[in-house]
């Protein structure tokens, strides 16, 4: 019995999906245009597919689980459920207009033509805003639609914003925020569900680790209490004596974003030789 996972073959989520599996300790060979591989050390079979097809394949039992962008689920509702948010592939679906456009408020879109590959989400959004606009469904490269006279605005995915910028467009309104998510269908067979539980445990350990750093520092023994208050850690910091009398090494875990906020306080409290390291897995 193997759990069947569908991931994107090529594109913006392909590398992140493979990286997530590797961090979960799952080994498999990639490449050579393969559409299907079996993991070497975990009961998993991986299918490489177009992202748009993944929700349907999961719903139809071709695959048990899949990794897709939330935007795909919003555009193509399928009988699947989101079970983990994976913290990569972040983007937003936005309305963008030519930089010098007189479209400023959402109601300025009334009567305008909007090109998009996301007609369903756009239609619902416009309805919710009481805007009547003409939706032009295209299959890609929405960013060039205004310059060739096809549309007054576009509705497309944005991440860094550089595609909009280099096409003379500005982001006007955000409709939806998205990231990669793990999906499955309700009522997986028991054996598949058991493997999925093991995989989710690993994924959560990887996600928890990504949000944290391991910190080590040296300090005089009398400073331990003050420094420990700044570094609560998973339970409390580990304090180990250094060879030099009166000195200790303090080890702890700290939020990846919290480190910069406490660094000055740590130094002021007497910390020296501070090292901050990445954590691969974290099991609470
Ligand atoms: O071949 P297949 O159908 O599998 O791929 P695809 O071309 O349909 O999808 P792909 O690879 O472009 O995107 C897959 C998923 O990645 C999307 O459904 C999103 O969930 C996610 N994602 C994250 C993005 C982006 N970031 C992104 N920046 N998808 C697309 N883009 C495109 C966007 O459409 C625009 O053309 O990148 C451009 C904008 O990027 P910036 O950085 O210039 O703003
Ligand atoms: Zn696609």
Fold of 91-178: D-Maltodextrin-Binding Protein; domain 2 (3.40.190)
Domain ranges of the chain: 3-87+179-209, 91-178, 212-278
Instruction: Say how many Å lie between the CA of residue 242 and the centre of ligand 1.
Output: 51
Which residue has the CA at smallest separation from atom 5 of ligand 1? 11
Instruction: Say how many Å lie between the CA of residue 15 and the centre of ligand 2.
Output: 15
* CATH number for domain 3-87+179-209, candidates 3.30.930.10, 3.40.190.10, 2.20.25.90, 3.40.50.12280: 3.40.190.10
Provide the pLDDT confidence category of residue 259 given band limits of 50, 70 and 90: confident
Domain 212-278: top CATH class: alpha beta
Chain segment 67-100, per-residue pLDDT in tens: 999 999 999 999 999 999 999 999 999 999 999 9
Ligand nearest to the CA of 69: 1
Question: 69: how many CB neighbours lie within 10 A of its CB?
Answer: 24
Q: Do the first three CATH levels of 3-87+179-209 and 91-178 match, i.e. the same topology?
A: yes
Ligand 1: does its nearest atom lie under 6 Å from the Cβ of 52? Answer: yes
Instruction: Say how many Å lie between the CA of residue 90 and the centre of ligand 2.
Output: 15
Chain segment 160-172, per-residue pLDDT in tens: 999 999 999 999 9
Q: Which atom belonging to ligand 1 lies closest to the Cα atom of 51? A: 4
User: Which residue from 51, 72, 162 has its CB within 8 A of the most atoms of ligand 1, so it is best to mutate?
Assistant: 51
Alpha carbon 160 to chain centroid, angstroms: 14
Chain segment 37-54, per-residue pLDDT in tens: 999 999 999 999 999 999
Task: Kindly compute the dihedral angle of the four CA atoms of residues 210, 15, 72, 78, in this order, to the nearest 10 degrees.
Answer: -90
User: Which residue from 10, 12, 141 has its CB within 8 A of the most atoms of ligand 1, so it is best to mutate?
Assistant: 12
Q: What is the pLDDT of residue 235?
A: 78
The phi-psi region of residue 206 (left if phi > 0; otherwise alpha if psi is between -120 and 50; otherwise beta) is: alpha
3-state secondary structure the chain: CCEEEEEECCCCCHHHHHHHHHHCCCCCCCCCCCCEEECCCCCEEEEEECHHHHHHHHHCCCCCEEEEEHHHHHHCCCCCEEEEECCCCCEEEEEEEECCCCCCCHHHHCCCEEEECCHHHHHHHHHHCCCCCEEEECCCCHHHCCCCCCCCEEEEEECCCHHHHHCCEEEEEEEEEECEEEEECCCCCHHHHHHHHHHHHHHHHHHHHHCEEEEEEEEEHHHHHHHHHHCCCCCCCEEEECCCCCEEEEEEEEECCCHHHHHHHHHHCCCEEEEEEECCCCCC
Distance (Å, rounded) from C-alpha 51 to C-alpha 83? 17
Ligand nearest to the CA of 68: 1
Average pLDDT, the chain: 95
Question: Which range (55-69, 119-133, 251-265) has the least confidence?
Answer: 251-265
């Amino acid at each position: 019995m193997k759990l069947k996972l569908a991931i994107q073959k090529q594109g913006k989520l392909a590398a992140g999906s493979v990286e997530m599996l590797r961090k979960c300790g799952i080994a498999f060979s990639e490449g050579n245009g393969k559409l299907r591989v079996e993991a070497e050390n975990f009961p998993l079979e991986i299918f490489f597919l177009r992202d748009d097809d993944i929700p349907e394949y999961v719903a139809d039992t071709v695959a048990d689980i899949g990794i897709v962008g939330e935007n795909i689920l919003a555009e193509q509702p399928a009988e699947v459920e989101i079970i983990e948010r994976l913290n990569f592939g972040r983007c937003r679906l936005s309305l963008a207009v030519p930089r010098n456009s007189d479209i400023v408020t959402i109601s300025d879109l009334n009567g305008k033509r909007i090109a998009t590959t996301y007609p369903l989400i756009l239609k619902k959004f416009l309805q919710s805003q009481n805007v009547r606009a003409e939706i032009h469904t295209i299959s890609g490269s929405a960013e060039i639609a205004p310059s060739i006279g096809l549309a007054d605005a576009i509705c497309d995915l944005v991440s860094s914003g550089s595609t909009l910028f280099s096409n003379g467009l500005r982001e006007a309104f955000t409709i939806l925020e998205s990231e990669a998510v793990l999906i499955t269908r309700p009522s997986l067979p028991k054996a598949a569900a058991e493997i999925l539980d093991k995989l989710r445990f690993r994924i959560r350990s990887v996600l928890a680790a990504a949000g944290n750093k391991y910190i080590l520092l040296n300090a005089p023994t009398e400073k331990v209490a003050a420094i420990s208050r700044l570094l609560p850690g998973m339970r409390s910091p580990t304090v180990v004596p250094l060879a030099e009398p009166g000195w200790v090494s303090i080890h702890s875990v700290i939020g990846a974003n919290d480190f910069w906020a406490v660094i000055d306080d740590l130094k002021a409290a007497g910390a020296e030789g501070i090292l901050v390291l990445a954590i691969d897995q974290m099991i609470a």
